[in-house]
């Protein structure tokens, strides 16, 4: 592997399969009747999407571009879960008519349903509604993604959800078949998912909904031994849902993103140079903070080092600052305090890195790094070549 040009992302199939089977078993054991969706926006690497499709996943998409990509990669339209506040009318119609899952989120979608209902009077439409509920009130301990609360879906507390249910119920060929409860929080606790499942029960009871599915969304921890995993989440979700729903009638949908892939992904870089600037050692590497955290807000980058030669016989350096490949001063990743002096050729490998940023990666100074998939037998498959000016110049025009 050492001859492979850094920087690159690696996806280890063995670890990916481990998390896939954890999810499958958790859903199977705790509910039985389930659909595994995968959040395409998290990492839309074509190799990964096809791999997950072969593992039985549906594609959870939030844009026309993602929908088109999923279809081009072979997902059938009935295996699409269409979410998000900005929907495309044509995609909306196609997914609904193909019996895929559409979770309504915005006001204009209610008007679209009215139009579609009249346009296809003989079609039976099954739709879902994204629920917005007051998580801060339900789980005061939870660290929310945004202080003022979530912005997606129809608000339960102020009656907007009730109004949407009432408007849709008037359409003779439209059935509210599902509730979507995705809510990202910082703390990703099991309790928040238990509360959301209880909310699904409460809404179904309150509005006498007969649901074919409950979509619990994503937002789980995964790939971390110090955190809960799918088994913990779905034990609680299953327990709460079973107060009202029957697995024989109601499908449980999960649509994880980062929790499914973070254990399997690493970002691998090399030390290129060591600079001594007035006593501070700067270790220049060929990867960048922008490859791992495009908004450069993070200060912790879990990693391990593969030394090119025996590190135990090297001198120790009091402080070494590992820096990235861009010409930005902020491109500094972490400090090594009193560690073996690094040398050009040493490899710095960032663990659980790239889940999101394999694709959420700025085309800044350098373009997308390569991605290699490591099969269970250790062989490598080039899932994506590093982008060059060949790709960057596409569809650019110069006068
Ligand atoms: C609707 C929806 N589903 C699933 C996900 C995946 O979330 P995560 O990557 O935290 O599992 C997201 C991410 O924000 C989302 O918005």
pLDDT in tens, 214-260: 999 999 999 998 999 999 999 999 999 999 999 999 999 999 999 99
Using pLDDT thresholds of 50, 70 and 90, give the confidence band for residue 143.
confident
pLDDT in tens, 92-106: 999 999 999 999 999
Decide: 218 in ligand 1 pocket, CB within 6 A. yes
Q: Is the dihedral of CA 144, 147, 152, 156 positive or negative?
A: positive
Task: Taking residues 7-18, report their average pLDDT.
Answer: 98
Q: Which atom of ligand 1 is nearest to the CA of 84?
A: 1
Please check whether residue 348 is in contact with residue 285, taking contact to mean a CB–CB distance below 8 angstroms. yes
pLDDT in tens, 321-370: 999 999 999 999 999 999 999 999 999 999 999 999 999 999 999 999 99
Decide: 19 in ligand 1 pocket, CB within 6 A. no
Residue 288 has pLDDT above 50, yes or no: yes
Task: Taking residues 2-13, report their average pLDDT.
Answer: 92
pLDDT in tens, 69-80: 999 999 999 999
Q: Which atom of ligand 1 is nearest to the CA of 103?
A: 1
Read off the tokens for 262: 């973070």
Query: Rounded to two decimals, what is the model's pTM?
Result: 0.96
Predicted pLDDT of residue 190: 97
Please check whether residue 226 is in contact with residue 181, taking contact to mean a CB–CB distance below 8 angstroms. no
Residue 3 has pLDDT above 90, yes or no: no
Rounded distance, CA 285 to CA 368, Å? 16
| Per-residue exposure over 382-398, b if at least 16 CB sit within 10 Å of its own CB, e if not | ebbeeeeeeeeeeeeee
Decide: 60 in ligand 1 pocket, CB within 6 A. yes
Is the peptide bond between 7 and the residue preceding it cis, with omega within 30 degrees of 0?
Answer: yes
Decide: 182 in ligand 1 pocket, CB within 6 A. yes
Strand partners for 364:
366
Residues in Cβ contact with 40 at an 8 Å cutoff, skipping those fewer than 6 apart: 49, 59, 60, 61, 62, 66, 69, 70
- 31-261 adopts what CATH topology? TIM Barrel (3.20.20)
CATH number for the region 264-392 comes to: 2.40.37.10
Predicted pLDDT of residue 1: 47
Decide: 256 in ligand 1 pocket, CB within 6 A. yes
Residue ranges per structural domain of the chain: 31-261, 264-392
Whole-number Å distance, alpha carbon 130 to ligand 1 midpoint, is: 13
Predicted pLDDT of residue 141: 86
Using pLDDT thresholds of 50, 70 and 90, give the confidence band for residue 10.
very high
Decide: 374 in ligand 1 pocket, CB within 6 A. no
The mean of the pLDDT values for the chain is 96
Predicted pLDDT of residue 130: 98
Tell me how crowded residue 172 is: count the other CB atoms within 10 A of its CB: 10
Decide: 215 in ligand 1 pocket, CB within 6 A. no
Closest CA to 269 of 306, 224, 316: 306
pLDDT in tens, 166-187: 999 999 999 999 999 999 898 9
DSSP 216: -
Decide: 258 in ligand 1 pocket, CB within 6 A. yes
Q: Is the dihedral of CA 142, 132, 86, 100 positive or negative?
A: positive
Predicted pLDDT of residue 147: 78
Predicted pLDDT of residue 149: 85
Using pLDDT thresholds of 50, 70 and 90, give the confidence band for residue 284.
very high
Whole-number Å distance, alpha carbon 154 to ligand 1 midpoint, is: 17
Phi, psi of 169 (to 5 degrees): -65, -20
């Amino acid at each position: 592997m050492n001859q492979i040009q850094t920087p690159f992302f690696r996806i280890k199939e063995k670890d990916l399969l481990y998390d896939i089977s954890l999810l499958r078993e958790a859903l199977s054991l705790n509910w039985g009747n389930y659909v595994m969706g995968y959040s395409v926006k998290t990492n839309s690497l074509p190799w990964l999407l096809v791999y997950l499709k072969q593992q039985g996943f549906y594609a959870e998409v939030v844009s026309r571009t993602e929908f088109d990509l999923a279809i081009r990669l072979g997902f059938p339209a009935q295996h699409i879960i269409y979410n998000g506040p900005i929907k495309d009318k044509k995609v909306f119609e196609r997914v609904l008519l193909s019996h895929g899952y559409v979770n309504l989120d915005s006001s204009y979608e209610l008007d679209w349903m009215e139009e579609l209902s009249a346009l296809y009077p003989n079609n039976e439409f099954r739709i879902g509604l994204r629920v917005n509920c007051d998580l801060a009130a339900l789980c005061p301990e939870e660290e929310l993604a945004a202080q003022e609360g979530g912005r997606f879906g129809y608000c339960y507390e102020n009656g907007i959800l009730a109004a949407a249910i009432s408007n849709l119920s008037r359409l003779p060929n439209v059935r509210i078949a599902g509730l979507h409860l995705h809510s990202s929080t910082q703390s990703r606790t099991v309790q928040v998912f238990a509360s959301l499942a209880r909310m699904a029960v409460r809404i179904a009871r309150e509005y006498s909904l007969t649901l074919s599915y409950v979509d619990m969304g994503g937002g789980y921890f995964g790939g971390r031994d110090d955190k809960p995993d799918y088994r913990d989440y779905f034990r609680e979700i299953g327990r709460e849902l079973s107060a009202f729903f029957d697995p024989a009638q109601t499908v449980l949908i999960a649509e994880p993103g980062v929790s499914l892939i973070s254990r399997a992904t690493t970002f691998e870089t090399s030390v290129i140079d060591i600079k001594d600037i007035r006593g501070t050692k700067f270790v220049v590497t060929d990867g960048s903070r922008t490859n791992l955290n495009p908004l450069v807000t993070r200060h912790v980058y879990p990693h391990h080092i593969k030394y090119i030669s025996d590190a135990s016989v090297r001198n120790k350096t009091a402080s070494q600052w590992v820096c990235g490949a861009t010409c930005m001063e902020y491109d500094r990743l972490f400090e090594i305090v009193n560690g073996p002096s690094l040398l050009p050729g040493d490899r710095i490998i960032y663990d659980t890195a790239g889940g999101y940023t394999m694709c959420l990666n700025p085309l800044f100074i350098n373009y997308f790094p390569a991605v290699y998939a490591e099969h269970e037998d250790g062989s490598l498959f080039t899932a994506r070549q590093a982008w060059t000016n060949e790709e960057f110049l596409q569809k650019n025009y110069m006068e």
